[in-house]
Structure 1
Amino acid sequence: MHKQKHLSLKITLGPYQTFIDNILDLAKKRQSSYVCVANVHMLIEAKNDKAFRRALLAADIVTPDGMPLAKALKLLYGIDQDRVAGMDLLPDLLKSAQDIGLSVFFYGGSDQMLEKTRAYIKTNFPKLQVAGLYSPPFRPLKDEEKNEVANIIQESGAQIVFVVLGCPKQEKWMYEMKGKIPAVMLGIGGALPVLIGEQKRAPKWMQKYSLEWSYRLIQEPKRLFRRYLVTNSSYVMLLAGQKIKLMLVSKKK
């Protein structure tokens, strides 16, 4: 799949279904790889955090999770790109995994969240092969603990690993685990709580007009207010600067 550089990211391009097909292909091959679902917050974080940026640039696939990124590709480069959101990828991949017999593993989240996940899957994807669910301690892991986790996942036979650690922790974890876990890993962050009903997703009209962030802000104002105030403002400025730069380059030609 082709990628387009956009500020601190290299965003993978293609129709939505192509992303599903490529992820499933990596899973079938048991290829150690990982997928990042990128939004504006991640782009700004990557600009300021070298380790995080390194993890994103090394990803096999970086989807335009946020509608603003998909629209930016059109504005700057004339690319019509589908939004490829984690909240859509997660249920679609679970269904596909069930249909073709792939095994999945959930890493991260609390014990309570994983129990709800187990119950949700039992009801909605009863034939899905769940290789395991693992809630790690809420602290940095020691090297021996990291190796133990890699061994657990490897021995489980999982082909798709859904990583629920939150940004940027999950992206850095996948970067570190590439080559150690023979599966495709996906950082799904906030998609799992929505799937199992702990949180609600924005209405379709808000998704269409790039307002899903505001719906999440209403749900979690204390946690997200500063993030959106800073990241959205920074992104608008960076986007404007990039547009002006491309216009100047175009005029010189």
Structure 2
Amino acid sequence: MIITDTHTHLYSEAFAEDRAEMIQRAIEANVTRFFIPAIDSTYTESMLQLEKEFPEYVFLMMGLHPTSVKDNYKEELRLVEDFLAKRKFCAIGEIGIDLYWDKSTLEIQIEAFRHQINLAKKYQLPIVIHCRDAFDEVFKVLEEEKSDDLFGIFHCFTGTFEQAQKAISYNMKLGIGGVVTFKNGKIDQFIHQIDLKHIVLETDSPYLAPKPFRGKRNESSYIYKVLEKLSELYNISEEEVARITTENSKAIFGI
């Protein structure tokens, strides 16, 4: 059984003391494909080092996270462009709009999101979307930019059934993680109504640990709790969930 974690911040400071051991735990639990989203240039070296240490398992994205869209965002976007021009990445991500922390940057967040969507089209890469308190704003941009060559993953999907269907209509898979195990997560109430071909697994570690680890540091090996929950909700084996979601990840990332 091969399990794919389509979204994990393995370079995070939260893993500074036991990163190698944590990754080894995941590999021993059959999690052997780690897709690593970018945040901003302060993490680039850590990401490259991670790829160097685990080349068979680690696949890097490039992009500017919406919460890192600040006064210097144009400079950050230039750095993204420079890296895309000189080496391969598996996706542009994570990109999008976050209105939870700062609504005042909405306009430049939209500009950065749109710019990076166009980079994805240029390099024929998927996008990985971060959306927090911003479904309407993200969907507006996707509607304006939609095309056959725009596709990707709606990371950490926490919306309604209707929003799930809308995301899928824009050629997006839904990234499902620890939230599906939460009592108040709500997506567990309808996710089984969505064909599994639209779903990929993720942890977003070190964030959003599933039950029974909620509130603690998340890690990629904990994805088995997401797998268990989806197996229960879809009433199919964990092996089948792992197989289908890994195939879905291959369709998106081409890896």
Larger Rg: 1
Higher RCO (Cα < 8 Å, 6 or more apart): 1
Query: TM-score by structure 1 length?
Result: 0.29
